[in-house]
Amino acid sequence: MRGDFVSNQMKALCKSEPREGLWMTRAPVPEIGPDDVLIKVNKTGICGTDIHIWNWDEWARKTVPVPLITGHEFAGEIVELGRNVSDLTIGQRCSGEGHLIGKTSRQSRSGKFHLDPATRGIGVNEQGAFAQYLRLPAFNVVPLPDTISDDIGAILDPLGNAVHTALSFDLIGEDVLITGAGPIGIMAAAVARHVG
């Protein structure tokens, strides 16, 4: 299941040059470590971050190393397990948390992973999901039940942003204004409506 069996290559959408655009390229299928999984990517979502990288704006120029496979919203299935991975299975459908953390900081050791200063993002600082295969730490894998399609699994990241943002406020009985009708805005409106 490792890409093209002869060359061990995969197709990938890459920021190959420090200028506007992305390029379809061939890249090696990622090698996994003992705590990683290899995911065959079935669906991806396009985030505003990906547009910044495409446009090669000031933020992207300061943040994104070139070359880099972009993309961080995805759904797929596990095709290879690292030797230390025991709680996931080959063939299991999944999405994943795209923020890769170190495990040595005080914040990570205390379970406050979102505050880890060593955090890096797939498709932003590390090779991403706009490819046939993605390497991801097993810790970051989010298994998908059969009731969640790959279409929905690929947008769990923006859904998480919408839920987190909407629930950061006491919404019960309040009038709410959400500016922007992109995916996150639409999902945040649904969360606010559900809360009441």
Instruction: Specify whether 119 is catalytic.
Output: no
Nearest to 127 by CA among 69, 76, 71: 69
Instruction: Specify whether 25 is catalytic.
Output: no
> Is 135 in contact with 2 (CB distance < 8 Å)?
no
> Is 141 in contact with 129 (CB distance < 8 Å)?
no
Q: Can you say how many angstroms the Cα of residue 94 is from the centroid of all Cα atoms in its chain?
A: 11
> Is 122 in contact with 15 (CB distance < 8 Å)?
no
Tell me the CA distances in angstroms from 49 to 71, 83, 85, 120, 196, one per residue in order.
8, 33, 30, 14, 30
Question: Which of the residues 52, 63, 119, 165 is marked catalytic?
Answer: 52
Residues marked as catalytic? 49, 52
